[in-house]
Amino acid sequence: MPAALEVLRERMATIYDLVAMRSLLSWDQQTVMPPKGASGRIAAMRTIGQIAHRMFTDDETGRLLEAAESEMANGASSEIDAALVAVTRYDRDRALRVPPSLVSEMAEAAGEGYEVWKVARRESDFTRFQPVLERNLQLRVQLAECYGYSDSPYDALLGIYERDRRTEEVRRIFATLVPRLRPLVERVSESRDEPPGILRQQYPLQAQHEAGLEILRMLGYDANSWRIDTTVHPFASSIGLSDIRLTTRFDKNDLADSLLSSIHEFGHGLYEAQVDPALDRTPLASGCSMTLHESQSRFWENMIGRSRPFWGLALPVLQRHFPEQLGNADSETLFRAVNQMQPSLIRIESDELTYGFHIILRFELEVDLIEGRLAVSDLPEAWNSRMKEYLGIDVPSDRQGVLQDVHWSEGGIGYFPTYLLGSVLSAQIWNRMSEDLPEMEVAIAEGSFAAIRDWQREHIHRFGRMYTPVETIERAVGGPLDPEPYLDYMEKKVDMLYGSVGAART
Amino acid sequence: MPAALEVLRERMATIYDLVAMRSLLSWDQQTVMPPKGASGRIAAMRTIGQIAHRMFTDDETGRLLEAAESEMANGASSEIDAALVAVTRYDRDRALRVPPSLVSEMAEAAGEGYEVWKVARRESDFTRFQPVLERNLQLRVQLAECYGYSDSPYDALLGIYERDRRTEEVRRIFATLVPRLRPLVERVSESRDEPPGILRQQYPLQAQHEAGLEILRMLGYDANSWRIDTTVHPFASSIGLSDIRLTTRFDKNDLADSLLSSIHEFGHGLYEAQVDPALDRTPLASGCSMTLHESQSRFWENMIGRSRPFWGLALPVLQRHFPEQLGNADSETLFRAVNQMQPSLIRIESDELTYGFHIILRFELEVDLIEGRLAVSDLPEAWNSRMKEYLGIDVPSDRQGVLQDVHWSEGGIGYFPTYLLGSVLSAQIWNRMSEDLPEMEVAIAEGSFAAIRDWQREHIHRFGRMYTPVETIERAVGGPLDPEPYLDYMEKKVDMLYGSVGAART
């Protein structure tokens, strides 16, 4: 291996270790840390973040990177080495564009914003939140100017979560979705089906934990390199390619909430677990973008976890853990119960169909705010009128409306669209995978997930960040993001659950 | 605050954060990490250790330290600032004396040594372990040469665990102990008391966990800044002054093992928890030496946890958790059961009295090895003959003899004596504390531990490393280490449990 490249690789490995340890600090903080450890933890996380940032942006890394680029230009190099240098260059150029003062100011605004938001949400008091959001927006506009953009400053913010993703393209995709998803929402809204209460019985937490773990193990969870804990807000974290940590929450009156949330996080975890070990301790060793990550979590949560064959598989497991509650249940009832669709106020409690509108609404508002067409003071009204337009419901309070999500309090603008783009991509992946694995539904019914995991590893996971998101998506599904498979999937699912348009309802 | 001192303080705070995070990595590794996370964890721990070491030993820290020393010389400074500079100077000079190549070689030898030791112990094969120990000894002699010493290279190794502690002094203290403890060992050995089986019933683990936690809470454990988990080898770790983590182990056939081990670790944890918050994020924010640390753990484990009033307090708690096993028990029986004394082979399973000889034996062998009077090949024989001499028992295998402890496999030479010196000091502390708190035994019986904790905070804990161990011990007990109080204590305890010398046995 050429000399500069080797030294650069070693330096990036050190930075990788620091970033991984920052993930561990964060996992520990959210999962096991005694509450009073918080102040020391904030200091330690800042320290480790600063050291990593300084090491990455200092002149020594710059010199090594240039020397490595010269070495690459002068001779053959492996594809991994080429990607290592290219991704380091991309990340470093972006890191250098943002002045440290802006980084600190954003971190401070995020910390304070989060605290203000918690109170504002509790008291449903948007005016309290308004100055926080205004400050966050102003800082994000500054950040967008640092990164640069061609059409909209929002492009630059999208780019934080997915490189090269453009506002115009997201707008076009969402514009295709809206007119075809709205009739579906109307159909489920008009349905008079009573929601089956089967999921809403008393489900003791310990049994939920054990049943969930048994099901995760069938999917591919392995206690040798994974763990799962309980937190208020579930998340997945990879401390290393062989140290994957999921969290879940439990509701003693709801069987599906913890299970589907665990399966969602499993999808995130599996992505990181199946990155090529040859990429370990390089900046390539992680998921490629948030859209790709969400495509994996939503694939496992929705395409598998909300499928009919899955509930055929899960029923006997659940019956063993909940003989009283489910002794007489059939899998079709469970399948229909977890696919109940109905417009509702809260994004994270919404169903697979209406979820999309929660995202589209947020995307549109974010773009309007960042492009200066919407004043923060007018945001609640804009939120409420779009909720009426898209989902036909009135928002009774800002607590259940514009104040419900944490993202804006911390300046996380540009993140929301990746949730829905992930769903769009997951349907493309399902179709493509079905061509290679025609017996997929049978495999799910039998609990044979190895072929699915292998397909994902082979076509997506192992590459990590070796290719750009556009290239990675192209490799996975043979083309760019395309809303058609997702629309087909949703239309078929609504037909299946709520009958075809015009079909007689019984 | 003067400029250089302020910058130095900030730099030391960063290093403190890194060291604290290294503790967290280690805690995580031993407690919750999925097994396959190990290889990534080793890399990350090395990375963080190297960054901290480099930052501490680089020229910038040297310049800041010199400038801060000049500032101190030129004007008044607070006692904390003066100690910060003095301790940084002491630690840095020592760190600079050891070449990085020796640091790496010792780390490598420790890692390999540990793996070889595990196999050698399992197979009771000393010849397999011999080359490992020879290498570790050779490296420690080199280390001693780096640090320098006046009389014995062993002085330098003692100094790793307690600054300024001299081999000659330890030898003198132990030489006082031996002739007065040996008759006690003979008395308990001749006793024909049957060991009461009350502690050796079936004690379900969950109830042990709950009872243990309830008792720890009475002592001062607070879930807001402490936690306790289960590991094979119990330990205490402080991630910060408000993030204290204990671990314990459980034996379903032994009630006392987990409880006393938890109380021991509680003593370590309390020391760190009660360091003056003004010392936070400085090198002063930890226990002062291993002898002082062990004095605290042994104070809580033995002087409190093996005392008669404590078992009066604990009985009703334990009866609630173990009504079947302890419904008819009385506290005197429990008190006598946890104080069973009898020579035995394994240090960590031995009682309070015979424990001392396990330490004295190791200390003598270590000194002989380091001073070159004993060849490693002759070690098993030397071990066995001393076990016969001190405890009157034959060692049936090296597994139960010279191979039983992990310390030597990792090069930890000079550590053992601090265990017994800690016991010696704990008795001095008890006497001194009794002068200030004459009602101490009543307080223990009533479960009122605040005055004891406050005394320890006031006279020992809050100082952290502000004073040297010699100064800290002087402040705590008004003089140097003195074996008399410990001998009085042990003699009285053996009298109480086994009758006075010459008294008729019933």
Please tell me the distance in Å from B221's CA to the nearest CA on chain A.
12
**CB-CB contact of A218 with A313 (8 Å):** yes
Residue A219 has pLDDT above 50, yes or no: yes
Question: Tens digits of per-residue pLDDT, A359-416?
Answer: 999 999 999 999 999 999 999 999 999 999 999 999 999 999 999 999 999 999 999 9
**CB-CB neighbors (< 8 A) of B227 in chain A:** 32, 34
**CB-CB contact of B408 with B190 (8 Å):** no
**In terms of residues, how long is chain B?**
506
Q: A200: how many CB neighbours lie within 10 A of its CB?
A: 14
Q: What DSSP letter does each residue of A187-215 carry, written as one string? A: HHHH--PPPPGGGGS---HHHHHHHHHHH
Q: What DSSP letter does each residue of A292-332 carry, written as one string? A: HHHHHHHIIIIIITTSHHHHHHHHHHHHHH-HHHHTT--HH
pTM for the model: 0.93
Rounded to 5 degrees, what angle do the CA atoms B301, B307, B308 make?
155
Return the closest-CA partner of residue B274 out of B224, B212, B220, B213: B220
Burial class (CB in 10 A: 0-12, 13-18, 19+), A450: exposed
Contact between chains at A20 and B28 (C-beta distance less than 8 A): no
Return the closest-CA partner of residue B63 out of B91, B83, B87, B92: B92
Please tell me the distance in Å from B38's CA to the nearest CA on chain A.
8
Please tell me the distance in Å from B48's CA to the nearest CA on chain A.
7
Spell out where A326-467 has E strands.
none
> Number of A:B CB contacts under 8 A?
109
Residue A209 has pLDDT above 50, yes or no: yes
CA gap B8, B282 in Å, rounded: 10
Which residues of B are annotated as catalytic?
265
Please tell me the distance in Å from B407's CA to the nearest CA on chain A.
28
Which residues of A are annotated as catalytic?
265
Token duo for residue B50: 């190297």
Mean pLDDT of chain A: 95
Contact between chains at B21 and A20 (C-beta distance less than 8 A): no
Q: What DSSP letter does each residue of A120-169 carry, written as one string? A: HHHTT-HHHHHHHHHHHHHHHHHHHHHH--SS-HHHHHHHHHSTT--HHH
**CB-CB neighbors (< 8 A) of B244 in chain A:** 34
Amino acid letter at A14?
Answer: T
Contact between chains at B40 and A280 (C-beta distance less than 8 A): yes
ipTM: 0.92
Contact between chains at B32 and A32 (C-beta distance less than 8 A): yes
**CB-CB contact of B149 with B140 (8 Å):** no
Provide the H-helix boundaries in B392-437. Answer: 416-436
Return the closest-CA partner of residue A391 out of A178, A194, A217: A178
Nearest to A240 among B37, B241, B281 (CB): B37
Contact between chains at B25 and A20 (C-beta distance less than 8 A): no
**CB-CB contact of A464 with A283 (8 Å):** no
Token duo for residue B505: 């046995």
Nearest CA in chain A to B23: A25
**CB-CB neighbors (< 8 A) of A244 in chain B:** 34
pLDDT at res. A195: 64
Q: Cα B140 vs. chain centroid, distance in angstroms?
A: 21
Contact between chains at A18 and B47 (C-beta distance less than 8 A): yes
Residue A499: pLDDT band with limits 50, 70, 90: confident
Nearest CA in chain B to A11: B47
Question: Tens digits of per-residue pLDDT, B60-109?
Answer: 999 999 999 999 988 778 999 999 999 999 999 999 999 999 999 999 99
Burial class (CB in 10 A: 0-12, 13-18, 19+), A165: buried
3-state secondary structure B459-484: HCHHHCCCCCHHHHHHHHHCCCCCHH
CA gap B344, B391 in Å, rounded: 8
Q: What does the CA dihedral B35, B38, B44, B49 come to, rounded to 10 degrees?
A: 110
CA gap A394, A390 in Å, rounded: 11
pLDDT at res. A500: 74
Question: Tens digits of per-residue pLDDT, A439-489?
Answer: 999 999 999 999 999 999 999 999 999 999 999 999 999 999 999 999 999
Contact between chains at B17 and A48 (C-beta distance less than 8 A): yes
Residue A506 has pLDDT above 50, yes or no: no
Residue A39: pLDDT band with limits 50, 70, 90: confident
Q: What is the mean pLDDT of residues A258-273?
A: 98
**CB-CB contact of B113 with B140 (8 Å):** no
Contact between chains at A225 and B28 (C-beta distance less than 8 A): no
φ/ψ of residue A483, rounded to 5: -75, -10
pLDDT at res. A194: 63
pLDDT in tens, chain B (506 residues): 568 999 999 999 999 999 999 999 999 999 999 999 998 998 999 999 999 999 999 999 999 999 999 999 887 789 999 999 999 999 999 999 999 999 999 999 998 999 999 999 999 999 999 999 999 999 999 999 999 998 999 999 999 999 999 999 999 999 999 999 999 999 999 887 666 689 999 999 999 999 999 999 999 999 999 999 999 899 999 999 999 999 999 999 999 999 999 999 999 999 999 999 999 999 999 999 999 999 999 999 999 999 999 999 999 999 999 999 999 999 999 999 999 999 999 999 999 999 999 999 999 999 999 999 999 999 999 999 999 999 999 999 999 999 999 999 999 999 999 999 999 999 999 999 999 999 999 999 999 999 999 999 999 999 999 999 999 999 999 999 999 999 999 999 999 999 876 554 44
**CB-CB neighbors (< 8 A) of B43 in chain A:** 13, 17, 281
Q: What are B's interface residues with A at a Cβ cutoff of 8 A?
A: 13-14, 17-18, 20-21, 24-25, 28, 32-37, 39-41, 43-44, 47-48, 51, 223-227, 239-244, 280-281
Please tell me the distance in Å from A91's CA to the nearest CA on chain B.
21
Contact between chains at A37 and B280 (C-beta distance less than 8 A): no
**CB-CB neighbors (< 8 A) of B17 in chain A:** 43-44, 47-48
CA gap A149, A166 in Å, rounded: 9
